[in-house]
């Protein structure tokens, strides 16, 4: 599903123009991005939790040469689905 598909669904579901739906979707995504950039957790009841975690430096190796390298520290985005979402996915999958 793409952002355009989401806009179409929102437009149809709440009976607004595609332009208004696109603005609404863009606003929600912007708020999510801004919140995650600051390192805050985003918890959406019934959907899941987005969290930014800090990874420290670690040893790795260059797969072409086998030479050891240090992989720099970085922040990664994680998502943990809610129990409700997980159950819905598994319920629909088993049908």
Tens digit of each residue's pLDDT (9 = 90 or more) over 1-59: 999 999 999 999 999 999 999 999 999 999 999 999 999 999 999 999 999 999 999 99
Q: Identify the bridge partners of residue 69 per DSSP, sorted by sequence position.
A: 60
Per-residue confidence band for 91, with pLDDT thresholds at 50, 70 and 90: confident
- C-alpha torsion 65→57→79→21, nearest 10: -90
CATH topology of domain 41-95: HU Protein; Chain A (4.10.520)
Model pTM score: 0.76
Cα 17 to chain center, whole Å?
26
Per-residue confidence band for 92, with pLDDT thresholds at 50, 70 and 90: low
3-state secondary structure of 81: strand
The angle formed by the CA atoms of residues 3, 45 and 14, to the nearest 5 degrees, is 45
Are 75 and 56 spatial neighbours (Cβ–Cβ below 8 Å)? Answer: no
Domain segments of the chain: what residues?
Answer: 1-38, 41-95
């Amino acid at each position: 599903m793409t952002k355009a598909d989401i806009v179409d669904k929102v437009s149809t579901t709440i009976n607004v123009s595609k332009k208004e739906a696109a603005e609404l979707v863009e606003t929600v995504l912007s708020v999510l991005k801004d919140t995650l950039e600051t390192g805050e957790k985003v918890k959406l009841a019934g959907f899941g939790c987005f969290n930014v975690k800090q990874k420290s430096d670690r040893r790795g190796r260059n797969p072409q040469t086998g030479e050891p390298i240090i992989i720099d520290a970085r922040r990664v985005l994680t998502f943990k689905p809610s129990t409700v979402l997980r159950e819905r996915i598994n319920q629909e999958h088993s049908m």
